[in-house]
A and B are shown apart, each in its own frame.
Chain A
């Protein structure tokens, strides 16, 4: 029996996203074990107590452990109690987990989890550790390139997220992404009630004997800034009501503000709307009975993914959905080209168009979205998760930057002997040669600056080895080099990894440190070369593409010219 502990000290979204990893761990153990016993792995998870109700709906967990941080905070802050109570409450929550594990996965990689990971695994009895943890020198250690990427991108708040957290966690665990099929636990009683109620809705609203599709609309996002405006919601419901093949259901969580919003919306429709109020456990039953979910950024999209329900996500955050959006293959995301939380410009019409695309009523190429709105589709296949642009406005510069960063991190990690990662620029990115060229020029110029800085750092390092008086020059040069880790481009990635290694130097002598830094600088040089080779690859790809297009164009012109000559000759003959 393989025993696995997952540390996940984040919010509801991350806990539900972890459901995919749990599913893959179980299925992989099942496949690898060969004895066809799905119970050959026991997965336990450590979470914060306030998210117990979320974690309880994930299928495949053997045991759940929790830290009551509100209790610990209350004990720590209240002058009635000595701090020993807070300390012991924390210890009581985690010390039972200090035992022999086959694998410990630090999924959340947040500051608390990084310390706890070491507390729980430094007894040397854990066979394998995946994630980040704080070592004895109080610096972060990463188990792999992927966990380092997660740690550094979390820290840097990189604006263009490029790798989905589910893909990242699978890469870190060297696991294939297994498809999610009904990974939610539900209450059988709720299931029966929900099924009966929804069957009644389908009967009452059937369209001349044809079955209707029920569209669930989640009213509020996980944060206020993600909410859709009242007008947008009203417009969306209105459109769905008008469609005889569809029927809207409002989905709300047990929350006063959302309840009030549902009441206000219902008034606009003469109280004809049906509202379903459900907690996480009840939601599992509800989601089984609807056909499509429309939701702003909220944990319900992850619940829907775990139950394989088609989702249209309305994301006001163009960057974050690339790392934490819905991941069901074929699902759609409506977003803005630029982040602007204040202005609610995604209209009900945009949502309806996305719905039509999902239902196959319209082709994505034919729809006209509100300016600055983009429609993306989830491509979750071959162990990769990427969001492909479908319609609306697009920012080619950002798209290329995101795609190339994604390509680079996969390319640099693939084994020398296998060349499976191929540059396959999606067609929509190749529509504007000028913008692609501008991105390539930008990266090349950045590489020139970084290379100069890198060489200057190496030179000053050599000098400081010979004469300690030059140590200051070396520090200045290194500082300047590290400042490139603040950029928001492809080249940021090798610099981020380099920076993390520099920050985590644990050597005790100056000589050892200098040797390690020198080695790291050469490593950075290699990574930069890899990155620039990706840029050249793109340049060649685009050049070939546009040349081919030009040749085809010329061929077309030639054939038109020939046709013209033939026609004239025919006329003359006549």
Chain B
């Protein structure tokens, strides 16, 4: 995050308000009341979603209000993840208005790449959480959040091969890519689908257990099509899921 001018002011209601590069992240009059109004505007999302992704932490007044409202609808069965690009804001927030709740996880100061390497966050996003953007933070870090929401993960194997957490994958791909007979084929520049189609399936002999797993994965991914031809109910559900995923994407 680029160098920022950081200041903390007191609101008329005597609550701390962070000011970043001259932008007030909360109301200078009454941040808590402002948060109540803001969260009320998102009440429909809160009613139907137990998991909420919040873009922007500020000093967390809206997070506390969000927790209160989520409790109303879902008792203790809810969770919040907050993405805050500026680590300094998080540090100051913990000093002045700490959020000490087991329901809320704050991811502060991470790059977008780092965020999309976070397995916990990925699992959270797969569950299609509701998204609430804190307007002042969104204005301040407009580009960061735009990039976060429109992120596209690397698709070529050699762009993500070092991110595997299981050494079996790293060992397998390194071994295959370095084989003399394949060196001119730039296998690493293929997507995993093309790698399976053009390389693994065409091998005269499978050698590594990972190859059976890759072929199994290819078959497993066909299940969406199988469902559409056999089970209308399930198919509808599946389509909805995919639609929801796309809505998260954009």
Contacts and interface: CB of A to CB of B under 8 A. Distances in A.
A74 B241 contact: yes
Interface stretch (B5-13, B37-45, B78-86, B202-210): B202-210
Interface string B58-97: 0000000000000000000000000000000000000000
Contact of B217 (A79, A87, A98, A134): A87
Contacts of B213: 87, 90-91, 94, 115-116, 119
A79 B160 CA distance: 13
Nearest to A118: B212
B153 A82 contact: yes
Contacts of A74: 126, 241, 245
Interface stretch (B17-25, B133-141, B161-169): B161-169
Given A70-B241, A122-B209, A79 B221 contact: no
Interface string B219-235: 11111100000111100
A76 B215 contact: no
A71 B126 contact: yes
A80 B163 CA distance: 15
A208 interface: no
Nearest to B205: A136
A442 B222 CA distance: 39
A91 B166 contact: yes
Which of B154, B214, B217, B230 gathers most chain A CB within 10 Å? B217
Interface in B158-188: 159-161, 163-166, 168-169
A71 to B, nearest CB: 6
Which of B163, B203, B219, B220 gathers most chain A CB within 10 Å? B220
A76 B126 CA distance: 11
Contact of B165 (A71, A73, A88, A118): A88
A111 B242 CA distance: 24
Nearest to B117: A82
A536 interface: no
B206 A111 contact: no
Given A111-B219, A119-B216, A82 B125 contact: no
A116 B212 contact: yes
Contacts of B101: none
Contacts of A137: 204-206
Contacts of B169: 84, 87-88, 91
Contact of A80 (B153, B157, B230, B241): B153
B249 A78 contact: yes
Given A69-B220, A74-B245, A88-B165, A134 B215 contact: yes
Contacts of A224: 232-233
Contact of A138 (B152, B203, B209, B217): B203
B215 A90 contact: no
Contacts of A119: 209, 212-213, 216
Contacts of B245: 74, 77-78
A255 B213 CA distance: 35
Given A71-B126, A118-B212, A119-B212, A82 B217 contact: no
B201 interface: yes
A471 interface: no
B160 A83 contact: yes
A81 B242 contact: no
Interface in A49-108: 67, 69-88, 90-91, 94-95, 98
Contacts of B207: 136
A150 B190 CA distance: 36
Interface in A250-270: 255, 257
A510 interface: no
Contacts of B166: 88, 91, 95
Given A88-B169, A224-B232, A79 B220 contact: no
A72 B212 contact: no
A461 to B, nearest CB: 24
A112 interface: yes
A78 B128 CA distance: 11
B168 A91 contact: yes
A223 interface: yes
B192 interface: yes
Which of B161, B212, B213, B221 gathers most chain A CB within 10 Å? B212
A73 B212 contact: no
Contacts of B204: 137
Nearest to B151: A80
A81 B153 contact: yes
Contact of A112 (B152, B216, B249): B216
A112 B224 contact: no
B116 A81 contact: yes
A115 B152 contact: no
A223 B223 contact: no
B81 to A, nearest CB: 14
Given A79-B153, A80-B125, A83-B155, A112 B206 contact: no
Nearest to B152: A79
A222 B227 CA distance: 13
A224 B235 CA distance: 12
A98 B119 CA distance: 24
Contacts of A118: 209, 212
B223 A84 contact: no
Nearest to B204: A137
A175 B160 CA distance: 48
Contacts of A77: 242, 245
A129 to B, nearest CB: 14
Interface in A121-150: 122-123, 134, 136-138
A45 B9 CA distance: 61
A541 B151 CA distance: 74
Contacts of B212: 115-116, 118-119, 122, 134
B122 interface: yes
Given A84-B169, A88-B169, A137-B205, A223 B122 contact: no
Given A119-B212, A119-B216, A123-B209, 13 more contacts: A70-B238, A73-B221, A77-B245, A78-B126, A79-B151, A81-B125, A84-B163, A87-B217, A115-B212, A116-B216, A118-B212, A138-B201, A222-B231
23 contacts: A69-B223, A70-B241, A73-B221, A74-B126, A75-B126, A76-B221, A77-B245, A78-B125, A79-B151, A79-B152, A80-B151, A82-B153, A83-B153, A84-B163, A111-B219, A111-B222, A112-B216, A115-B212, A119-B209, A137-B206, A138-B201, A138-B206, A223-B231
